[in-house]
Structure 1
Amino acid sequence: MKKFLLSLLGGVIIGGIICYVFLEYETSNYIIQNYNGLDEKEIKEWDFSYITQAGFIILITTLLIYFSWVVLKKRADKN
């Protein structure tokens, strides 16, 4: 359980850095103007494609850390 939690923490940190550096976040907000053109209202939406891609990157990074940790542990026990 300790390996999994530490792998998850490492995956979130490393995956978050990868997402911040390589993925370009584009805001989904848009402005609606009233008919007279004086009143403006900003509509804020979540960017689900960015969230999905970031989630996959974090999941893959977590799994890579976990499985590499398991392999290194097995090799250390073998020696």
Structure 2
Amino acid sequence: MKKFLLSLLVGVIIGGIICYVFMDYESANYVVQYFDEKDKVVKEWDFMYITQAGFIILAITLLFYFSWGIIEKRMDKDHKM
């Protein structure tokens, strides 16, 4: 459980940094203009950005998790010799 949670934490931190630096977030807001009233700003979520960021975070989490497993196996193998 510890390995999974730490892998997820590393994935969120590193993936979040990668998404923030390299992905261009585009606001999905738009303005509705009325004739008699003030303009209304409609805010929406950018689901393409959220989906792509989620896949990047998931990929980094899995990469870190399986790398950690391989390193543990090699360390155990080296200690047995």
Q: CA deviation at 1:35?
A: 2.3
% same residue: 68
Per-residue Cα deviation, 1:34-57 (whole angstroms, up to 9, x for no partner): 024x52000000000000000000
- The answer for unaligned runs of 5 or more in structure 2 is none
1:35 aligns with 2:40: no
**4+ aligned runs moved over 6 Å, structure 1:** none
The separation in 2 between residues aligned to 1:33 and 1:2, in whole angstroms, is 52
The separation in 2 between residues aligned to 1:68 and 1:39, in whole angstroms, is 55
Q: Which residue does 1:44 correspond to in 2?
A: 43
TM-score by length of 2: 0.93
- The answer for unaligned runs of 5 or more in structure 1 is none
What amino acid is the match of 2:12?
Answer: V
Q: Root-mean-square deviation (CA), in Å? A: 0.8
SS in 2 for 1:42: strand
TM-score by length of 1: 0.95
